[in-house]
Amino acid sequence: MATTRPAFRAPGLDWVLMLAVLGLVTLGSLLVWSATTHREDLTGGDPTAYLKKQIVNVLIGLVLMVVVLATDHRWVRIVAPLVYVASLAGLALVLAMGSTINGSRSWLELGGMSIQPSEFAKLAVVIGMALWVAERADVRRGRPGGAHADVTGMLLIAGLPAALIMLQPDLGTMLVLSATVFGVLAVSGAPRRWLALLAAGGVTAAAAAVAGGFLKQYQVDRFLAFTDPDLDPRGAGYNVEQARIAVGNGGLFGQGLFDGSQTRAGFVPEQHTDFVFTVAGEELGLLGAGVLIALLGVVIWRALRISAQTDDLFGRLAAAGIACWFGFQAFQNVGMCLGIMPVTGVPLPFVSYGGSSMFAGMLAIGLLQNIHLRSTATVPSRYTMPERVLVRG
């Protein structure tokens, strides 16, 4: 007897992406544990204190990921403006009543928990820009033109949170956000001449910020130490010098988990957060650090693949933006540990200790899986675009 196939088949998750993320959070938790287990000044006598906190961060992040993953695609687009407005409110609250850590007023203290709204702003800008272009494409379906308004709107969407982030100031997040915005603009089909003008304008603005004294002195010192690590080895250049020593100590196979000499001695500042890659380099060696980088590469590859496979314009731009975000932030973090990028204080996605970064990253993974599920369904959503309508000039 013949059976009738259902009109809709629930597609599977992108398990390659999922396994890569689980591998990163597992490896990251071990590295955080190793970086803090010998630090009584941090743990208060409990060598597993930060491990327990990181596991809680991962579990909360997984719940957030599942919520976004399971949300109907239509609701994702409806909620997107609310997420953007909430991120702006969080950034404004930071300036009004935030806590200053390491020279940056970037944190909100809520019920004994520290939240960094700028981490969520990265995702909010990505989905805000993607939604703007998708809605504009729906409005002008079949009508040419409108590229100027599209690009202007995307820059305004990115510019508001960027201005609030610069007032903190959080230069690391600003660099990541700038690279992400540029990537979304490129994928949206913005004319190359506009991209070139934006890049030139960004370089000019950065030079003007330095020359005009808009950066804090410690930020200028970090850039000077990047150009010449021997300029101030006990001051601004200390982090870079100790990070390079730690990574160099690892050799090919590493000194063994929990046995890194620099890590045990606590010579590398912020080693469980911004400089967690130095733990991998010292204790797991070139091979272990290579595995970590490979897992990050898999996450970026799957995000780009999801972007390429979906016909939904919102999903395509959002996935590409997330890939740019993860890609540049990972490069910036690993680069500053190796001395090839200036120290700007950005976490390594899914590896560094911290709730805000973990939550924002997991929300992004949930959105990627949501886009993947919609793009592989047999019956297209009414929001799926039959043509790739991009910004054209």
pLDDT in tens, 324-361: 999 999 999 999 999 888 888 899 999 999 999 999 99
Query: What average pLDDT does the segment 287-291 reach?
Result: 95
In a domain, residue 131? The reply is: yes
In a domain, residue 387? The reply is: no
What is the C-alpha R_g of the chain? 22
Q: Which of 49-58, 192-201, 240-249 has the lowest mean pLDDT?
A: 192-201
In a domain, residue 393? The reply is: no
In a domain, residue 83? The reply is: yes
Query: What average pLDDT does the segment 47-52 reach?
Result: 93
Residue 139 has pLDDT above 90, yes or no: no
| Prediction pTM value | 0.88
Number of domains in the chain: 1
Residue 276 has pLDDT above 90, yes or no: yes
In a domain, residue 331? The reply is: yes
Residue 96 has pLDDT above 80, yes or no: yes
Asked if residues 25 and 355 have their Cβ atoms less than 8 Å apart, the reply is: no
Q: What is the spatial distance between Cα 106 and Cα 83, in angstroms, rounded to a whole number?
A: 18
How close are the terminal C-alpha atoms of the chain, in Å?
57
pLDDT tens-place string over residues 195-246: 888 888 777 776 666 666 666 666 666 666 666 666 655 656 778 888 888 9
Phi/psi of residue 187, nearest 5 degrees: -70, -30
In a domain, residue 241? The reply is: yes
In a domain, residue 67? The reply is: yes
Query: What average pLDDT does the segment 164-183 reach?
Result: 88
Asked if residues 190 and 173 have their Cβ atoms less than 8 Å apart, the reply is: no
Of 347, 320, 369, the closest CA to residue 62 belongs to: 369
To 5 degrees, how large is the angle CA 39–CA 45–CA 47? 60
Mean pLDDT across the chain, nearest whole number? Answer: 83
Q: What is the spatial distance between Cα 298 and Cα 5, in angstroms, rounded to a whole number?
A: 34
Query: What average pLDDT does the segment 250-257 reach?
Result: 92
Domain span holding position 175 = 15-375
The widest CA-to-CA distance across the chain, in whole angstroms, is 81
In a domain, residue 390? The reply is: no
Tell me, what's the pLDDT at 227?
Answer: 66
